Structure 1
């Protein structure tokens, strides 16, 4: 059985005010071609389908048109999608009754039965091949909030214990049902301990005081664990079969050098046969100019020297540019100077990264961060800086935990 694993599409995403519908459509068209050419049996999408909990109608149409086209291209294709922390579980699940007719299963949240226990059956998805033969079982676990996990009495972290219990209970249910030769796949949208985070574009998942889960939640009887949330493709916990596919396009300038990809998974009976990364073409370039922050005169020279082999590119193909300037003191006319230097060039100015010199710096060394672009700072970092400025000392851990709980409550209310 041949499966594609992809994640973190973030349909509806905008980069510093620029809509990215075109780039996402290029990816979806390419993905459709991969499904055809690689003769794929199943597609797994592990969360953050949309960029926010209230996606635009255009973003929703983009998803459903892709699913329709995929079904027409491969009538035997099975699709499993889970919700991520950016998605609205209810909104994502809303079209499930219709999509299940076309072998597309969406799991947005856990459900409880009349006894108050987790309905494990709603998280277990059997995967059949094109001949209708059962080949694998999916533990389709979406992003888990505290109310989504079993209530476990423990002296440790109740959320972590609940997540572990949920995967363990679902796995035991599958082990009691599966036959020899049927593989088990686990899907999840979470941050596993030791994994690399893209600081500029990934919303931190903090539940209680817990920043990351252990890769040990995935039992060795699982052939492959398909993960979402982190945008950098990587394995987790030293286990080659526990993987983040990463995002298909860069969500920020911090991700320019990421090897954006999908993963082609081949099952050999109940075991993992092979994992093949497939690079995603990048239709629109992202550039940081210069590579390291520099004084304004040097930056203006670099911008003036920009040349393009195809100056008549349509606007949707114009590269995004982040200009990186280092100042000794504020220069009010800097933005106007940058815009003038780029005037007439086929680029989209997607931000000016401003930093201030702090002592003697070498290229690539740290510069003093500014408050100029709050979208690049996590809320916790804003609070830390404000508290230190106000009180002259570090933010207490207890206050930080309370703030993090408020952030989670606010996201759940969206």
Structure 2
């Protein structure tokens, strides 16, 4: 029996990009995705985490998700939508609306649940996928982002994060194999960082030296497809059937060259080995462009003159411009004003100007960078650690980042204006 599904992740609904809302860009993506669902009628839509950008998303971001689920259900009533929490999501929040999700043939897994006897609640993590005739065509193993506090200390197999992660995968795969029939596929959806994967600079740095990155050996040969979320670049890890779908829009200027996509997957365990797995990347149209202009100041102004012209009335629909310029001398005091005046009127949003100083040392020019962006907590911690006279310590830095991650995921009242 063949199963047909879409794999997507890292929507980051509600994101602000240099204080600019991405709501228009997300709405364009979601409208495009509805068209794909209407046209191709998959059995399931898998959303592999980081649905929202923050754990307390604005009401507008939540409305965007739930309106999409309603529209998707109308476009393909038999399609199941399965989603998991990522490290940006609140697992509690996305599970709270379960009665609403059921109306749209959707399910969210935000947390690892344990029974009173300290055994894993496997039923919540294993979901059958049905075809239009309600036959089970696949089983989906749903693993949200695994925080140590939620998976360790429950039994002898969960004394530390690594053993707990191995235990979870072993138990889930064992039970899934027991439930499936030979013609049914096994799909694992996870929000995790795998060894060998390529990162961008917009992903939250919670891993030091890849100590917490997972190995593909966890999946064995029993899983027909691994649908991953967390890293924003579309990529396969070691095998074509272990894939990150990537984010649907560029979440930083380092992601402008990514081919943002939804992965359209067909699986048939009964087919010959070389025909069991087929996928097609559905390339997502980019509604807003990101322009990074680099060079000496004179070159910057020349590149500005080459930009497209024509006013765009709605500010949310204007392109972003990021400038990194080289200079031997300090910039003029009114540089930003000069650049804004040079940019075509009402067409672009200038989000950042960074000066890369050039210093003369003999016959060579040495580059140093002055970034006016505020320092991150990680950089402040590193500076303080060094100022206290300590040498860099990866264990200490890793502990700090884990504490930071926990602090960022403490739910606090959210006031909306």
TM-score, normalised to structure 2, is 0.89
In 1, Cα distance between the equivalents of 2:252 and 2:71?
Answer: 29
How far is 1:350 from its partner? 1.6
Report the CA distance shift for 1:210/1:359 in structure 2 as closer, same or farther (over 3 A).
farther
Deviations 1:227-280 (A, max 9, x none): 0000000011x1111100000100011101011001001011467420111100
How far is 1:191 from its partner? 0.6
Structure 2 contact 127–140 (Cα < 8 Å) conserved: yes
1:399 paired to 2:396: yes
1:111 to 113, 121, 126: 113
Structure 1 contact 117–150 (Cα < 8 Å) conserved: no
How far is 1:219 from its partner? 1.9
Structure 1 contact 76–130 (Cα < 8 Å) conserved: yes
Structure 2 contact 313–346 (Cα < 8 Å) conserved: no
Structure 1 contact 4–263 (Cα < 8 Å) conserved: yes
In 2, Cα distance between the equivalents of 1:351 and 1:102?
Answer: 41
Question: What residue in structure 2 maps to residue 340 of structure 1?
Answer: 341
How far is 1:345 from its partner? 4.7
In 1, Cα distance between the equivalents of 2:146 and 2:178?
Answer: 24
Report the CA distance shift for 1:329/1:162 in structure 2 as closer, same or farther (over 3 A).
farther
| RMSD, aligned α-carbons | 2.6
Structure 2 contact 205–401 (Cα < 8 Å) conserved: no
Question: What residue in structure 1 maps to residue 410 of structure 2?
Answer: 413
How far is 1:207 from its partner? 8.5
1:380 paired to 2:381: no
Structure 1 contact 129–135 (Cα < 8 Å) conserved: yes
TM-score, normalised to structure 1, is 0.90
How far is 1:307 from its partner? 4.2
What are the residue-to-residue correspondences of 1:222-237 with 2, within 5 Å? 222-236=223-237
In 2, Cα distance between the equivalents of 1:16 and 1:369?
Answer: 19
In 1, Cα distance between the equivalents of 2:82 and 2:401?
Answer: 31
Q: Secondary structure at the match of 1:92?
A: helix
Structure 2 contact 48–227 (Cα < 8 Å) conserved: yes
In 1, Cα distance between the equivalents of 2:163 and 2:358?
Answer: 46
Q: Secondary structure at the match of 1:348?
A: strand
Question: What residue in structure 1 maps to residue 318 of structure 2?
Answer: 318
How far is 1:13 from its partner? 0.8
Question: What residue in structure 2 maps to residue 370 of structure 1?
Answer: 370
Question: What residue in structure 2 maps to residue 281 of structure 1?
Answer: 285
How far is 1:150 from its partner? 5.0
In 2, Cα distance between the equivalents of 1:270 and 1:80?
Answer: 24
Question: What residue in structure 1 maps to residue 414 of structure 2?
Answer: none
Deviations 1:75-110 (A, max 9, x none): 111110000000011111111122124320100011
Report the CA distance shift for 1:5/1:179 in structure 2 as closer, same or farther (over 3 A).
same
Question: What residue in structure 2 maps to residue 174 of structure 1?
Answer: 176
For structure 2, list consecutive stretches of 5 or more residues without a partner in the other structure.
412-417
Question: What residue in structure 2 maps to residue 266 of structure 1?
Answer: 266
Question: What residue in structure 2 maps to residue 255 of structure 1?
Answer: 255
Deviations 1:273-326 (A, max 9, x none): 20111100001111012xx3x3334323432x1442544565433211111122
Of the structure 1 ranges 253-262 and 335-344, higher mean CA displacement relative to structure 2 is found in 335-344
In 2, Cα distance between the equivalents of 1:220 and 1:213?
Answer: 16
Structure 2 contact 20–316 (Cα < 8 Å) conserved: no
Would you say how many aligned residue pairs link Structure 1 and Structure 2?
A: 401
Q: Secondary structure at the match of 2:41?
A: coil
In 2, Cα distance between the equivalents of 1:18 and 1:40?
Answer: 34
